[in-house]
Every structure is written in C-alpha cells, then in structure tokens.
Amino acid sequence: MYYLGIDLGGTNIVAGVVDGDGKIVVKASCKTNAPRTPEEICDDMAAVALKALESAGLQKSDIKYLGIGAPGAVNSETGIIEYTNNFNFHNWEIKKMMEERTGVKVYVENDANAAAYGEYCVGAAKDANDAVMITLGTGVGGGIIIDGMIYSGSNYAGAEVGHMVIQHGGRLCTCGRRGCWEAYSSATGLINMTKEACSIQQAPQYLMYQMIEGDLSRIDGKTPFEAAKKGCPLAQSVITMYLDYLACGLTNIINIFQPEILCVGGGISHEGDYILVPVIEKIEKERYTRHNTRQTKICLAELGNDAGLIGAAFLGK
C-alpha cells in the first residue's frame, strides 16, 4: 500500500509517495511563491502531488487519500484552515479545493501536528501511547499525541507550546506577547542573544566576534555553536543561557503532559548530544517527577525535515 502526502511550507510545497513502512519512495516539489491566492496555491499543490504519483509509477486509484500538513489553525474535521499567518488566509477551504483538483479524499492537519504524528508512526516516538514533539526552527513548534491521537484543542489551535511564557515581561515575541518560550529557544531567539553578546564593548577580543568579522548580519543559528566548540568563552556563555531557556520549556512540557517520549527536532536539534546531554542534566534536576520510577524519555527526532510529509501521508490511517 502506498500513501500520498503534502508538506505545505512558506517557502516550498513538497509532495511525496510513502510506503507502508514510512519510507519515501519519491518526492516532487515547487516553490510556494507566497503571497498568492488560495486557488493558485492549491493548483500547484495538486500538480506537485500528481507529479509525485506519476514519478512513482502510480495512478490515483492506487491511493485511498491525500494527506496535507499545513501551517495555522487547521480544523481537521471540516478541512478548513481557519487562520494561517504564513499566508494571511482566513477560512481557507483547502480540503474542498484539493478534492476538486485531485479527485481523491483529502485529510488536512496542522504541519507541526503532522510532524509529531510522523515521528509517532515510524520515528522516535514509535510505539509510544503519549508523546510530544518539539521543533526548534525559526519558531518553536509543538505536536502532542495523547492515547495515539493528535491533540488539537477545542479550537484546533492547540499545542502552540512556543507561546507559553517562561520569562514574565520578557522579550517581545512575534505573537505580540512578552516572554514567550519561542523568543528564547527558537533559532531566531538564539541569533538575537548572539547579536547582543557580540554588541558588548569587550566583544572584539573574542573568537566569535572575529569569526563574523564584526558583521552582526553574518550571525546565524550555527555561529555560537561553532565558536563554543572552538573554546570561545563568549559563545559558551550564549549557549549556556540558551540551553537554560530550552531546558526550562522542556521541563514545563514534561510536568504538564508526562509523555512517554519527548522528542526534539528542527534545525537546532542537528547539534545532537551537544545540546541534548546538558539539557537532560538540567531537566533531571528540575522536573517534578524526578523521584518517580517512570520517567519521560527525552530524545532527538529521527525523521528530520521529512517528518511532516510522512505524518501527512499517514493522516488517513
């Protein structure tokens, strides 16, 4: 049996044919080219999905449905994206529009939820009854699985864990609130902390400042990690602060949900044990259940950028 999924992103539209073991057989993609109309984006999604099927040597009759992971508040029952800030669309009838264009049944889910579901089906959270996935990218995303089901909340906007406050009155978040976890533990938050560190009077004497040749615009999410690994104390102080914030948020997640597995994905997770080991040490000192026999397993996500695509492909299962 084969499954067809789409991962709709702000930059790219990626479609893929996935086999029953969660292996991607073939992919097809195109640029999202937002801002555009919902009709234009659906036209391209349908074209890319059908192209993936054709490349795999399959017909529409070979699949039972099409699954889509999309950003925003996605009503998975109606197939309507009630709001997505990535495209600034309200009440986008994506399910109806895609069924008209493809001729197959369509399931739609929030992209972070789809990624968590992918990890739950065939990734790091496989066989767990309750799991949470956190993605550390431009923002901090979350997906929650409870009793094997995606938790979306009463209004399909649940699992926005990046917008819990960890520093009252703290940094301004893109959502308009202050002190959100996303403002501290996203790649954007890390970059901002790194720029602040490189703006102090003593910064020119440090390796990290020299690596960017004093140009703050050259700082990205890898900069402080690269400098810290080379022994730069300024970079190491940034990473220590970043990991403190990251551990604080993850501890909150564990204390609230007590999942069997908490997996961490996204670009920053590629640092592997360099972040995972110290974060686990911090969490073990602070989590409420530190004296319990059963503890949440904390690990890195396994499916990388394909988690959302695989999860979308399996939505109908």
User: Model confidence at 11, in pLDDT bands (50, 70, 90)?
Assistant: confident
Q: Please name the amino acid found at residue 223.
A: T
**pLDDT score of 108 more than 80:** yes
pLDDT, residue 72, reads 85
User: Model confidence at 34, in pLDDT bands (50, 70, 90)?
Assistant: confident
Averaged pLDDT, 107-134 = 94
Virtual torsion, Cα 303, 305, 307, 311, nearest 10 deg: -150
User: Model confidence at 127, in pLDDT bands (50, 70, 90)?
Assistant: confident
Q: What's the rounded Cα separation, in Å, for the pair 26 and 56?
A: 6
Q: What's the rounded Cα separation, in Å, for the pair 115 and 309?
A: 7
Virtual torsion, Cα 91, 95, 96, 102, nearest 10 deg: 140
pLDDT, residue 247, reads 97
Q: What's the rounded Cα separation, in Å, for the pair 33 and 279?
A: 37
**DSSP string for residues in 138-196:** SSEEEEEEETTEE---TTS----GGGSBSSTT-SBPTTS-BSBTHHHHSHHHHHHHHHH
**pLDDT score of 96 more than 90:** yes
> Which one is predicted more confidently, 280 or 157?
280
Q: Token pair of 159, please?
A: 């699992």
Q: What's the rounded Cα separation, in Å, for the pair 235 and 214?
A: 14
**pLDDT score of 22 more than 80:** yes
Q: Roughly how many angstroms between the first and final C-alpha of the chain, as a whole number?
A: 11
**pLDDT score of 114 more than 80:** yes
pLDDT, residue 103, reads 94
Four-way CATH pick for 2-121+306-313: 3.40.640.10, 3.30.420.40, 3.40.50.10600, 1.20.272.10: 3.30.420.40
Provide CATH 3.30.420.40 ranges for the chain: 2-121+306-313, 127-301
Q: For residue range 218-239, what is the model confidence (pLDDT) as tens digits?
A: 999 999 999 999 999 999 999 9
pLDDT, residue 305, reads 86
Q: For residue range 61-92, what is the model confidence (pLDDT) as tens digits?
A: 899 999 999 988 899 999 999 988 778 889 99
pLDDT, residue 84, reads 84
pLDDT, residue 290, reads 79
CATH superfamily of 127-301: ATPase, nucleotide binding domain (3.30.420.40)
